[in-house]
Amino acid sequence: MASVAYNHVFKRYSAEAVAVKDLSLQILDTEFMVLVGPSGCGKSTALRMLAGLEEISDGEIKIGDRVVNEVPARERDIAMVFQSYALYPHMSVYDNMAFGLKMRRVAKSEIETKVKEASKILGLDNFLKRKPRQLSGGQRQRVALGRAIVRNPQVFLLDEPLSNLDAQLRVETRINLQKLHKDLDATFIYVTHDQVEAMTMGDRIAVMKDGILQQVASPREIYDDPVNMYVAGFIGSPKMNFIPVTVSGNTAKASGFTLELPKAPGIEKGVLGVRPEDLTEVPHEGFPKIEMKVEVVEVLGSDQFLYGKVGSDDVIARLDPQFKVSVGDAVPLHMNMRRLHLFDVGSERAVL
Amino acid sequence: MSAATAEALPQRRKPIKVGKVVSRALFYLLIVIILGYILFPFYWAARTSFMPDADIYLTPVQYWPKNFTVQHYINAFSEPTFVRSIANSAIVGVSATLISILIGASAAYALARFNFLGRNVALYLILAMSMFPGISILGSLYTVLQRFHLYNTLYALIIVYLTFALPLMVWIMQSFFRGMPRDLEEAAYVDGASQFQTFWRIMIPLAAPGLATVGILTIMGCWQEYLFALSFLLSSSKWTVPLAIANTGANQASAFQIPWGDQMAETLVVMLPLIAAVLILQRRIISGLTAGAVKG
């Protein structure tokens, strides 16, 4: 097991096409680190540079104490699970898992013990003789995991390993992956575009956008204190509401309401960030009241989403499903002031 | 729906139906014509090979042999030059094919996957090589072979056949390799395989359908090649199949009469190994061999 460090890492394909810009990120030993961001944000490239599948244009990547910039992939002692699984189609499940060990000239008897062990953990005992094409998507995914586990590598790299599974299987596998991480006590680096996966699995989350690392923090911290509008909007579903406001002193004025801020932020134009779940129909001490004109109501059983307008701004609210609302109503909502965010319009940075 | 439209429908449908039948008929007629065009020579050769010589020239033409005989086949197999030529052709064809797989497939992989200076130049030069008509390089090849004392040996033919086998192999296989998912190679690298191990243990088994296809084409090309064989082989003990067939009966008394019956019998005999090769290799050409490698 080992820690991983990115020190000012760049990936340039050409002068204009820069996939990763000045990435500095320390991943602790046995940590579950999730790199999350939209497609093309550089998260996969960052992972592939660590795997040795892409050259590092600038900067330094360390696995443990070793700088690996010039070390070929096969000598980095990492294992990777690909989005496509990349199982060798002409080999049986057993041979797929054994391949990495064979390449490292591990003794046959030891290979057998390790493959048997891994297949037991993953519930693949009965499929060892099958070819990948005779397996279901979920089984293939487990073989890909098994291929990584038997190697007992320093670091596990997982590149969107769940995105080819159907919704139910994805949730199951997500939970199994977390258990596996605990059992193996290994360093996991997990790339995904799915913020739910990021929130549920990561010890820490690194949010990336346009090749630039936005924020690294625990899921709770990312959710509670996003450093900028991008992170605030990316994490959380439905998205955080962004309401433009003009600020004078510590008064913020939106199109539909006026608000006293806890302190003067020192900006003139801002964007107020309110998560849908921080709006409530129940009046609270110190929660300012706003009025929402309801346009769409979605009841999901456990939740109720209201889509509508506050003044001229679109707002989504997440309320108790027992609360009866119909389209066209003007609903009074109360805003949780303690969980309010304010961003500067120009820099999009959080100022409050 | 009103009654008027219900009545109108069958009337309107009728001409469409006739058109459909006509186009169907034309379609099958076309198939029959194409099949006839392709199969007639085989039928004619087979017919001739089972007829006594005297009947072959008879008018009216016999479409089915009246006096059925296997004498021509007996003649063919009692001709040592012909029997020997099958072995020679097999040696040359199989060697050229195996060498072109060995060299050509690795070259194709390098050209498909690795970026190096002059890669495209190399690729187009290889393609250009296969554009030359054989006759244009005949003279220079002769000089080269003479210089290396390979004239009138089977080695000469193996080397010469590689001039068309290799470009074919390289071109088809490099596009084949390009179409294969990169993930597999990357997975192999991460698993600790070297580039050569990745090529040999992952890519070659997956490229088997492509290799089989090009292999068949190469063997067929070698099997029927006449010009180079005629130019570089002197002794009848070195002859390949096309030479042996063409020279059947040449040293007999009736040198002015072409022994059609014997030649047709020999032609049919030498077709059999090819058909067998295609059938055997076809098992390897299973589409979707890569199924299950990537994606769910």
Judgement on whether residues A215 and A257 belong to the same structural domain of the protein: no
For residue B93, the model assigns a pLDDT of 93
Judgement on whether residues A101 and A172 belong to the same structural domain of the protein: yes
User: Taking 50 as the threshold, does the pLDDT of residue B293 lie above it?
Assistant: no
Which residue shows structure tokens 């999730």?
A: A34
Share of chain B above pLDDT 70, in %: 87
Residue B51 lies in a domain: yes
Instruction: Specify the pTM.
Output: 0.80
Question: Mind telling me how many Å the CA of B205 is from chain A's nearest CA?
Answer: 7
**What secondary structure letter does DSSP report for A238?**
S
Residue A352 lies in a domain: no
Residue B216's pLDDT band, with cuts at 50, 70 and 90, is: confident
CATH code for position A334: 2.40.50.140
Residue B254's pLDDT band, with cuts at 50, 70 and 90, is: low
Residue A38's pLDDT band, with cuts at 50, 70 and 90, is: very high
Interface contact B289-A86, CB threshold 8 A: no
User: Taking 70 as the threshold, does the pLDDT of residue B120 lie above it?
Assistant: yes
For residue B52, the model assigns a pLDDT of 87
Q: Rounded mean pLDDT of chain A?
A: 93
Which residue shows structure tokens 């795997």?
A: A51
Token pair belonging to B174: 């490099």
* A contact residues 55-84, partner B, Cβ 8 Å cutoff: 72-76, 78-80, 82, 84
Question: A3 pairs with which residues across the strands?
Answer: none
Residue B48 lies in a domain: yes
CATH code for position B103: 1.10.3720.10
Share of chain A above pLDDT 70, in %: 100
Residue A52 lies in a domain: yes
* B196 CB within 8 Å of a chain A CB: no
Judgement on whether residues A250 and A328 belong to the same structural domain of the protein: yes
Query: Phi, psi (5° rounding) for residue B205?
Result: -60, -35
For residue B214, the model assigns a pLDDT of 87
- Per-residue pLDDT, averaged over B32-37, amounts to 96
* A86 CB within 8 Å of a chain B CB: yes
Judgement on whether residues A291 and A202 belong to the same structural domain of the protein: no
Q: Whole domain around residue B94: which residue ranges?
A: 80-247
* Sheet strands side by side (includes A330-335): A279-280, A330-335, A289-299, A304-310, A313-319
User: Taking 70 as the threshold, does the pLDDT of residue A6 lie above it?
Assistant: yes
Q: Give B-chain residues touching A53 at CB under 8 angstroms.
A: 186, 189-190
User: Taking 80 as the threshold, does the pLDDT of residue B15 lie above it?
Assistant: no
CA B226, CA A259: separation in Å to the nearest integer? Answer: 94
pLDDT tens column, A120-169: 989 999 999 999 999 998 999 999 999 999 998 999 999 999 988 888 88
- What is the helix (H) or strand (E) element at residue B28, kind and residue range? helix B3-49
Residue B162 lies in a domain: yes
Question: Mind telling me how many Å the CA of A338 is from chain B's nearest CA?
Answer: 45
Q: Whole domain around residue A118: which residue ranges?
A: 4-231
For residue B285, the model assigns a pLDDT of 59
Question: Mind telling me how many Å the CA of B213 is from chain A's nearest CA?
Answer: 18
Judgement on whether residues B100 and B211 belong to the same structural domain of the protein: yes
Residue B69 lies in a domain: no
Among B3-17, B23-37, B270-284, whose mean pLDDT is lowest?
B3-17
Domains in chain A: how many in total? 2
Residue B274 lies in a domain: no
pLDDT tens column, A238-259: 999 999 999 998 899 999 899 8
- Closest alpha carbon within chain B to A138: B296
Q: Which of B180, B190, B200 to mutate: most A Cβ within 10 Å?
A: B190
Is residue B189 helix, strand or coil? helix
Q: Are A7 and A59 in contact (CB under 8 A)?
A: yes
Q: Give B-chain residues touching A73 at CB under 8 angstroms.
A: 186, 189-190
* B293 CB within 8 Å of a chain A CB: yes
How many Å is the Cα radius of gyration of chain B?
27
Last residue of a domain, one of A174, A199, A231: A231
Among A336-340, B103-107, B194-198, B253-257, whose mean pLDDT is lowest?
B253-257
Last residue of a domain, one of A231, A256, A282: A231
Domains in chain B: how many in total? 2
Token pair belonging to B52: 């006594």
For residue A276, the model assigns a pLDDT of 95
Residue A336's pLDDT band, with cuts at 50, 70 and 90, is: very high
- Closest alpha carbon within chain A to B206: A90
Judgement on whether residues A225 and A334 belong to the same structural domain of the protein: no
* B188 CB within 8 Å of a chain A CB: yes
Chain A to chain B Cβ contacts (< 8 Å): 95
**Strand A18-27 with A4-12, pairing:** antiparallel
Which residue shows structure tokens 């499903």?
A: A321
